[in-house]
Amino acid sequence: MTKPDKQYLPIHGEKIREARICAGLTVRQLAAGLGKGTKAVYLWENGESYPRLPDYFRLCRLLGCGRAPFGP
C-alpha cells in the first residue's frame, strides 16, 4: 500500500458545493476559474477526489473565503 500524497488536502465536498452556489457560480464557471475541467470539480464536490494544495488556495480565493473553510 502506498502512502497518500501529502500535496492533496482532504476536504468536505459538500462545503465546496455550498460555497460555489453562494458565490453564484456554476461548476463550469468554477472549473474555468481554476483552470481545471468540470470533472475535477464534480469529483471534489462528491468527495471522490481532493484538490492539490495550490488548487485549494485558488478555490478559496475564487470563492472569497478564508484558508480553512472546507474542514470538518
Contact present, 23 and 62 (Cβ < 8 Å): yes
Q: Where are the alpha helices (DSSP H) in the chain?
A: 13-22, 27-34, 38-45, 53-63
> Can you give the residue ranges of every domain in the chain?
13-63
**What local confidence, expressed as pLDDT, does residue 8 receive?**
72
Residues sharing a CB contact under 8 Å with residue 57, sequence separation 6 or more, in sequence order = 67
Decide which of 66 and 39 is more confident: 39
The class of domain 13-63 in CATH terms is mainly alpha
Tell if the pTM clears 0.75, that is, is over it. Answer: yes
Over residues 6-58, the pLDDT tens digits come to 577 778 888 899 999 999 999 999 999 999 999 999 999 999 998 988 898 89
